[in-house]
Amino acid sequence: MSATYVRSKAAERLLNRELSWLEFNGRVLELAADPRLPLLERLKFASIFSSNLDEFFMVRVAGLMEQAASGFGLRSPDGRFPEAALVQIRDRVRELTAEQSRIWNRDLRPALDGEEIYVRRVAECDEAERQELAKRFDRDVYPVLTPLALGPGQRFPYISGLSLSLGVFVRDPDTGEERFARVKVPEGLPRFVDVPKRAYLIPLEAVIAHFLGGLFPQMEIAEAAVFRVTRNADFAVSDEADDLLEAVELELRRRRFGDVVRLEVAESMSDRMLGRLTTGLGIQADQVYRIQGLLDLADLAQLAALDRPELKDEPWVPRTPVDFLPQGSIDLFGTIASKDRLVHHPYDSFETTFETFLEAAANDTSVTALKTTVYRTSDESPLVPALIAAAESGKQSVCLVELTARFDESRNIEWSRALEHAGVHVVYGFPNLKVHAKMTLVVRRELDGLRRYVHIGTGNYHSRNARLYEDFGLFTADDDIAADVADLFNYITGFGRPRQFRKLLVAPFDLRDRLIAEIRAVGQAAAAGKAAWIGIKVNALTDEAIIAELYRASQEGAKIDIVARSICSLRPGVHGLSETIAVRSIVGRFLEHSRLFVFQAGKKVSYFMGSPDLMPRNLDRRLEVVAPVADPALQQRLRSFFDVLLADNTTAWELQGDGRWKRLHPKKDEPARATHPVLMKSARPRARRRAASLRRAR
């Protein structure tokens, strides 16, 4: 069989991961262009598009460039060599960034003008305003600027990643000597400088460029143009690391000096200056991206945060489920012991559910142990204070801190040291196995002995994210699930191999195999003419073995609905391959983040929820946990959620077999149905009904 045939067959079955992710970011950008959304929400999506793209270059593009440079000829699962993927990525990125610039210049900025939010140039200010701006510059900006001019024999200066800079050609009018200089735009200052008289907002780099003469006295400014560098920020900790904390700190220092993977420059930059930058940075022409208008639109977040509530979505206040309301003598642990509880964030409050559970464990004198995992958390979360309080009161307090959570490494190092100083037993997991599971274990002494309570989540224990990310959390006192979680904590902190799990599906041990067994059972049911349906909700689906089993189940006649927010390598709706598979993505007000799995094989229907996406890294190189949801009422709640997702005709996109995504719109005489507003609306009356029922019961 020829190599060409192998590649073509792979491409027929799978979509490229990186190109699929770029299409997701394209969907984010579509929301920035959507005139039906409030103006500042559109700015927020334009900002998210840029910050997403930064991380994509720092990690995914950087990795492909390293593969290409290695010369080993590695192919992606869809059959592409890294060089071919990079060409397609760069072409698509240029299309998307050009569209973002168009949206900003032609849509968003004029719309801001209409709301008296003026993003302007210094030249548009009158004389009095320029004088005021000069005072502001001298007081707040000039003291923190450091011009770096290159003379003969001097090395090109180090340019930090993701920082804006001005490239300047400075000429001595007396001698004609010209030098290149770099002026870094300070990162600690607001990106947009306000001019109070007419509510003008002027980009900081434009202000600096206007007053450059003060940095180079008695010199001529021949040219000044903005540029921005993106560096490789991915790293791997050696499997042989003896001290994981020390190894991560070392890699963090190295990250600052990663290779350049992208250079963004103003469209107006001359070829001469661009040549100076590419030579100095040691990069190729295909790494350069010319931008029409402002660079780094991630800073539009500053404008999106303006105090203009009429230009934003109405604030959402999460509801407290009745099971977590103060119930007199009925304690929270008794409530969980009586029946499993399921919460859905951000519709259900994270603060009054999980955080209440955590604080109850820390303060309850009957609790003897509190164990949890930290993948990402926030300063405002009570997670760390609760662990410290538990340790100080004599409880066994254990925290697994995942030091290699990408771009949260420094924060997690800080948390780990604070916890250790307070007497919490801190463990860091394994160099070659990232702990991504979200689980908390509480051990409580009760009349009939010790009892264990567990929370398993689909999202991080992060208070701020819980108001923006959609996630589920399961509270249970099920003996088998609790025993599995206890075994996992012992595996992480101790030494040994876990025994066979009772109810949990755990990566990297048995998760893929057990999911495949469920998929096969559905396929067999379909072949026998029985009811056969699979519902999968993930952030990303790329695992070849899982995709192959889904194709087989489809060919047996099983109906398969996949909701994949970002990446999907599966090709749906392809004749003879995946005709019964539909894939959609929901992108809107909240970030769809939960991972859910439903398998209907005849009369048997199994529901699962947990932390993993269906990607090789999650199934093979991470510790992930998936829990069964057995209670019929909770199962119905999950099925109703799927029904809402599959009925969305406003914030949903459907994946076509050729890799294109098609946004859905209501048909004629069909009401608009958007997932997040529907769930927000249903949360309000449900909360009111439950509260009224509780009051009557009292």
User: Is residue 698 a part of any domain in this protein?
Assistant: no
CB count in 10 Å sphere of residue 546: 22
Q: Is 676 known to be catalytic?
A: no
Same domain, 257 and 401: no
pLDDT recorded at residue 323? 82
- The domain that contains 207 carries what CATH number? 3.30.1840.10
Q: How far apart are CA 583 and CA 568, in angstroms?
A: 8
Q: CA 88, CA 159: separation in Å to the nearest integer?
A: 27
What whole-number distance in Å separates Cα of residue 564 and Cα of residue 541?
7
Q: Is 168 helix (H, G, I), strand (E, B) or coil?
A: strand
Which of 288, 311, 334 delimits the end of a domain? 311
Query: Are 103 and 191 found together in one domain?
Result: yes
CA 361, chain centre distance (Å): 30
- Same domain for 639 and 525: yes
Please work out, in degrees rounded to the nearest 5, the angle formed at the alpha carbon of residue 165 by the alpha carbons of 259 and 209: 165
Q: Is there a domain that residue 694 lies in?
A: no
Separation CA 360–CA 487 (nearest Å): 23
CA distances from 131 to 195, 224, 531 (A): 11, 22, 75
Among 436, 455, 462, 593, the active-site one is: 436
Residue 136 forms part of a structural domain: yes
Residues 496 and 518 in one domain: no
Check whether residue 412 and residue 294 sit in a common domain.
no
Same domain, 305 and 336: no
Confidence of residue 246 (pLDDT cuts 50, 70, 90): low
The count of C-alpha atoms lying within 13 angstroms of the C-alpha of 127, restricted to the half-sphere facing its C-beta, is: 0
Tell me how far apart the alpha carbons of residues 612 and 399 are, in angstroms, rounded to a whole number: 20
Whether 148 and 181 have beta carbons less than 8 Å apart is answered as yes
State which residues form the domain around 155.
Answer: 3-311
**Which of 117-131, 303-317, 439-453, 602-616 has the least mean pLDDT?**
117-131
Q: For the sheet containing 178-184, what is the strand order?
A: 147-149, 178-184, 164-171, 220-231, 260-266, 288-291
Parallel, antiparallel or unpaired: strands 341-345 and 469-476: antiparallel
Distance CA(245)–CA(472), nearest Å, equals 31
Counting the structural domains of the chain, the total is: 3
Three-state secondary structure of 531-596: CEEEEEEEEEECCHHHHHHHHHHHHCCCEEEEEEEEEECECCCCCCCCCCEEEEEECCCCEECCEE
Does the pLDDT at position 67 exceed 80? yes
The pLDDT tens digits for 377-404 are 555 667 778 888 888 888 888 888 765 5
Does residue 164 lie within any of the structural domains? yes
Instruction: Give domain status of residue 695, yes or no.
Output: no
Q: Are residues 584 and 447 in the same domain?
A: no
508 preceded by cis ω (within 30°)? Answer: yes
Question: Is 60 within the bounds of a domain?
Answer: yes
pLDDT for 33: 97
pLDDT at 224: 96
Q: 217: cis peptide before it, omega within 30°?
A: no
- In a shared domain, residues 529 and 659: yes
Q: Which pLDDT belongs to residue 551?
A: 98
pLDDT for the residue 250: 52
* Predicted pLDDT at 559: 98
Summarised one tens digit per residue, pLDDT across range 420-451 is 776 677 777 677 788 889 999 999 999 889 99
Q: Residues near 263 by Cβ (< 8 Å), separated by ≥ 6?
A: 227, 228, 229, 230, 277, 278, 281, 283, 287, 288, 289
Longest Cα separation, the chain: 93
- 696 lies in some domain: no
> Considering 451, 484, 501, which residue would you say is the last residue of a domain?
501
Q: Mean pLDDT over residues 114-121, rounded? A: 93
Cα 106 to Cα 33, 98, 118, 200, 668, distances in angstroms: 10, 12, 14, 18, 30
Specify the pLDDT at position 256: 53
Which pLDDT belongs to residue 329?
41
* Cβ atoms within 10 Å of 356's Cβ, excluding its own: 18
Average pLDDT over residues 80-101: 96
Single pTM value for the model: 0.90
The answer to whether residues 577 and 562 touch, using CB atoms and an 8 Å cutoff, is no
For the residues 268-277, what does the mean pLDDT come to?
96
Same domain, 175 and 249: yes
Mean pLDDT of the chain: 89
* 604-610 and 192-195 beta bridge pairing: unpaired
Residue that the structure tokens 């709301």 belong to: 115
Rounded Cα distance between 688 and 323, Å, is 13
494 and 520 part of one domain: no
DSSP label of 144 = G
Minimal CA–CA distance to 291: which of 111, 93, 121, 18?
93
Measured CA to CA, the distance from residue 310 to residue 297 in angstroms comes to 22
Nearest Cα neighbor of 543 from 614, 624, 618 is 614
pLDDT value at 238 more than 50: no
For 657, residues 6+ apart whose C-beta sits below 8 A from its C-beta are 571, 572, 573, 574, 578
User: In the listed set 266, 288, 311, which residue is the last one of a domain according to the structure?
Assistant: 311
Map residue 56 onto helix, strand or coil.
helix
Same domain, 429 and 549: no
Question: Per mean pLDDT, which range of 88-92, 185-189, 341-345, 559-563 is the poorest?
Answer: 185-189
Residue 302 inside a domain? The answer is yes
Q: Residue 19 pLDDT more than 70?
A: yes
Structure tokens at 660: 């294109």
- pLDDT for res 640: 97
Q: For position 327, what pLDDT does the model report?
A: 59
- pLDDT at position 668 over 50: yes
Amino acid of residue 537: K
The residue type at 253: R
The helix or strand, by DSSP H or E, that contains position 227, with its residue range, turns out to be strand 220-231
Question: What tokens appear for 453 in the block?
Answer: 């309570």
Q: Would you say residue 152 has pLDDT above 90?
A: no
Other CB atoms within a 10 A radius of the CB of residue 500 amount to 8
On whether both 88 and 214 belong to a single domain, the answer is yes
Are 174 and 165 contacting, i.e. CB atoms less than 8 angstroms apart? no
Higher per-residue pLDDT: 639 or 195: 639
CATH code: domain of residue 430? 3.30.870.10
Tell me which of 480-489, 518-527, 687-696 is least confident. Answer: 687-696
pLDDT band for position 495 (50/70/90)? confident
pLDDT band for position 410 (cuts 50, 70, 90): low
Distance CA 335, CA 145 (A): 59
Beta bridge partners of 568: 541
- In the three-class reduction of DSSP (H, G, I as helix; E, B as strand; rest coil), residue 335 is classed as helix
Q: Which two tokens stand for residue 595?
A: 């991972």
